[in-house]
Amino acid sequence: MSGNIKQLFNGYLLQLETIVNKVPPELFAVSLTDDMFSLEMNAKIAANFVLRGYYPLLGKEAVSLMSDERGKAAVVRQIIETRELLETLPEIHNLDDSKVITDKAGFSEIQLCQSDFIHQYIASNFFFHMGMVYAIAKSKGVVVSKGDFDGLHSYPAGFSFVKS
């Protein structure tokens, strides 16, 4: 994965944007439960994890494009600006596991070599928060599919594996 980190993140940011664009504005404040982040915050956090992961690989302090501005337009703008900023950054061709990256995971301070940082921390958190966006949208009747999530799958309209 080390040679395609930027491509991987850009591809999934596009998929996140695809899902977000299908969500009606009134659903951005919805969460799965009262003690979880809203769809909006999950989308913002997912996009933020891309830069939070990429910058330290370059030996730079992470940048955040999250803003206090609320709503669908703010989320879409953050995703687009994240993709644009990522495109300006140098390619990372190899991960150097002699370099350790320190970050906060909830209330824990973590120290991981570059490959573990990307594979175990950044990617999993990005996909967790993107998955929450998908789950909240789907639970509220938004027509999204696995293809919207990964950009690969396709199904005919109305298709379901569980409904016959």
Average pLDDT, the chain: 95
Do 136 and 1 contact (CB within 8 A), yes or no?
Answer: no
More confident residue, 81 or 158: 81
- Cα separation of 83 and 96, whole Å? 24
Q: How much is the average pLDDT of 77-99?
A: 96
Q: How much is the average pLDDT of 2-29?
A: 93
Q: Which residues pair with 101 in a beta bridge?
A: 112
pTM: 0.94
pLDDT one-digit tens code per residue, 46-79 = 999 999 999 999 999 999 999 999 999 999 999 9
pLDDT at 26 over 90: yes
The SS3 of residue 12 is helix
pLDDT, residue 164, reads 63
Name the band, by pLDDT with cuts 50, 70 and 90, for residue 2. Answer: very low
Nearest CA to 133 out of 35, 9, 46, 8 is that of 46
More confident residue, 160 or 114: 114
